[in-house]
Structure 1
Amino acid sequence: MLSEEEKASLETATFGAGCFWCVEAVFENLDGVKSVESGYMGGETENPTYREVSMGNTGHAEVTRIYYDPKVISYKTLLDWLWRSHDPTTLNRQGADVGTQYRSAIFYHSDEQREIAEASKETAQSMFDSPIVTEITAASEFYIAEDYHQDYYKLNKSAPYCQMVIRPKLKKLDLE
């Protein structure tokens, strides 16, 4: 984890793209990304637990909060990776994960990020046959997920989910 001083010198991006374990594994592999935290955003319940979010009752999405150095990687480049790393055309679903907690979402932290995200979404549409359903919403309170969700792939590479879902995704993206 980064110190508050380190975080202050970086930019923040927050994305929802299905299970946060998969999203975290992708973005942790990119040069310029300094830290990725799995958590919850976009719901009504304060301090939700994984159990509450996974039941779909809180309104939160599973998200990753990404701290990055904009001198090394741009927000636009992060968005390019987002579009390539999940299916933004399926409403409230990524693979076998179904529910609003798995929705495709970009939570922007500034008007500039909103503008870049909207332009990126429009450009990315040409990559897909179906309409992109990714929501672009102002960032709200971020609730960090429980410790066992952090660095999940790095710490659990031999787990069946990591072997059957995350590893093939990373290989497809040439990140492993």
Structure 2
Amino acid sequence: MSAANKIGLGGSCHWCTEAIFQSLKGVIQVSQGWIEADNDSAGFSEAVIVEFNPDMISLENLIEVHLHTHSCTSEHSMRSKYRSAVYTFNDDQVIPAKEAIRMLQKQFEDPIITKVIPFKNFKLNNEQYLDYYYQNPDKPFCKTFIDPKLKILLNQFSSHVNEEKVAHTTITFSQQP
């Protein structure tokens, strides 16, 4: 897969972010762990690498989903652990990512703090935590933190949701308000 079909996303717990992007049409693979940005002394932050088919879902759509499913306007105390970022893998992704965020700003009352920064390094999480939500949908963490984000996904981005994927979980289209 070429680098143009891969993007890093961070801003929330990597279990949450993994579940969101695993639930989308056009997403081929989500690798969950920690990303380090190039030219950044902040170190590693929880994030995912999303490999996607741009003929099925665009980079702009991925960024829109990302901004709406984490606190992209909040400088909270956990930002060093949960950096709000789009990690680019090549220079061709920088301008489209920044432009997407600029265009999406009108959907948010407060300024978006999400940074577009170059990817440097990735550490995959321990195998026991991979595919966390889809292996453990009934765990209290999943019910409390991931289910509400998946409901946002279903309510705001249903055309991008892989219905087959979410049909096997406790969140279904029929639970939408």
TM-score (norm 2): 0.79
Return the alpha-carbon distance in structure 1 between the equivalents of residues 37 and 64 of structure 2.
26
Give deviations 1:3-49, integer Å, cap 9, x for gaps.
Answer: xxxx45981110002101111111101111011010111269xxxxx
Pick aligned residue for 1:31 from 21, 25, 44: 25
1:90 positional shift: 0.9
1:99 positional shift: 3.9
Q: Which runs of 5+ in 2 are unaligned?
A: 155-160, 162-170, 172-177
Q: For residue 174 of structure 2, what is the aligned residue in structure 1? A: none
Q: Paired residues, what number?
A: 154
Pick aligned residue for 2:116 from 136, 140, 146: 136
TM-score (norm 1): 0.80
1:100 positional shift: 0.5
Q: Report the 3-state secondary structure (helix = DSSP H, G, I; strand = E; otherwise coil) of the residue aligned with 1:61.
A: strand
Return the alpha-carbon distance in structure 1 between the equivalents of residues 61 and 68 of structure 2.
11
The 1:125/1:8 distance shift into structure 2, 3 A limit, reads closer
- Structure 1 residue 20 and structure 2 residue 4: aligned? no
- Structure 1 residue 63 and structure 2 residue 43: aligned? no
Runs of 4+ in structure 1 deviating by more than 6 angstroms, as ranges, are none
Give deviations 1:122-160, integer Å, cap 9, x for gaps.
Answer: 111111221111111111111111112210000111110
Return the alpha-carbon distance in structure 2 between the equivalents of residues 172 and 76 of structure 1.
17
Return the alpha-carbon distance in structure 2 between the equivalents of residues 60 and 92 of structure 1.
17
Q: Report the 3-state secondary structure (helix = DSSP H, G, I; strand = E; otherwise coil) of the residue aligned with 2:120.
A: coil
Q: Report the 3-state secondary structure (helix = DSSP H, G, I; strand = E; otherwise coil) of the residue aligned with 2:31.
A: strand
The 1:128/1:9 distance shift into structure 2, 3 A limit, reads closer
Q: Which runs of 5+ in 1 are unaligned?
A: 1-6, 45-57
Q: For residue 168 of structure 2, what is the aligned residue in structure 1? A: none
The answer (yes or no) to whether the contact 2:37–2:87 under 8 Å persists in 1 is no
Percent identity (aligned):
29
Q: Report the 3-state secondary structure (helix = DSSP H, G, I; strand = E; otherwise coil) of the residue aligned with 1:101.
A: coil
Return the alpha-carbon distance in structure 2 between the equivalents of residues 85 and 146 of structure 1.
24
Return the alpha-carbon distance in structure 2 between the equivalents of residues 169 and 88 of structure 1.
13
Q: For residue 128 of structure 2, what is the aligned residue in structure 1? A: 148
1:172 positional shift: 2.4
RMSD of the alignment, in Å? 2.2
